[in-house]
Amino acid sequence: MTPTRLKKLIRNLARRLDQQWPGVAASILEGLDEILTVVRLKLPKELRRSLACTNIAENMMGTIRRATRNVKSWRDARVALRWVAAGMIEANKRF
- Segment 30-84, tens digit of pLDDT: 888 887 887 888 888 888 777 766 677 777 888 888 888 888 888 888 888 888 8
**What torsion, rounded to 10 degrees, do the Cα atoms 17, 20, 22, 24 define?**
-60
pLDDT interval class at 14 (50, 70, 90)? very high
pLDDT of residue 7: 92
Is residue 83 within 8 A of residue 67, CB to CB? The reply is yes
Is residue 63 within 8 A of residue 55, CB to CB? The reply is no
- Segment 26-41, tens digit of pLDDT: 988 988 888 788 788 8
Query: Distance between CA 80 and CA 86 in Å, rounded?
Result: 10
